[in-house]
Structure 1
Amino acid sequence: PVTSNEIDSDALYLDEITLTSEQDAVLRYGQVEVPLPPGADVERTTWGISVNKPNAAKQQGQLLEKARNEMGELAYMVPVKELTGTVTFRHLLRFSQKGQFVLPPARYVRSYAPAQQSVAAGSEWTGMQVK
């Protein structure tokens, strides 16, 4: 995990987003909106890449699934057909523009009920510095 707000523009980062629904009913047709700083992009080629969790060096890594995102201006969006229980999305991110940035939290929005949305835990804007 990234423990400081400093990001290396020469590195590739794994963005892991976990959604948890505590409702009994299935939430259909939503989207996760994840803000990105200028110059950041989601890596589309994940073929054959496996990722180990931190402190689990002896376990076999999990293969990354195909990137299922849609790019927007300063954000990427992941469509969520059904949300029940817990679901995790993983994407590889690359940061190319250097500078200091402040980003809003990620949020989940239901497509046909936009008033029903949830913001990432903490709900605070996050600062980062890309070097």
Structure 2
Amino acid sequence: MRIRLTSVFVDDLQHALEFYTDVLGFTEKHNIPLGGGASWITVVSPQEPDGAELLLEPAGHPAVGPYRDALVADGIPLAQLTVDDVQQEVQRLTDRGVTFTQQPMDIGDHWVAVFDDTCGNLIQIVSAKQPQP
């Protein structure tokens, strides 16, 4: 069993595509029109173009709003993304206008931080600490 595809709920597909590509730096992998204004849009890491895909899932289902609102109210990220260095990524994204709801925090053998993806979600970034010699 492998993880090939996971999703985040988004309010506006075009805005989400722009945020996840132009701001975060992902690459569009699929953009398949489904009719009625809907599309199947996935993005991937440019470092792993054949790796796991992130589906930008329309948030139209009635259960999505209350679910996401509860997560945001409690400060719980909907998804986690791995980065090489949380502190460097926080600086890069802050310079691009991203708002962090949790600044870098040391959690033992990892660093974490949480940002608002402007699409209705909190997203956590995680990096492993380098072993000390």
* TM-score w.r.t. length of structure 1: 0.27
Structure of higher RCO (CA pairs closer than 8 Å, 6+ residues apart): 1
Higher helix share: 2
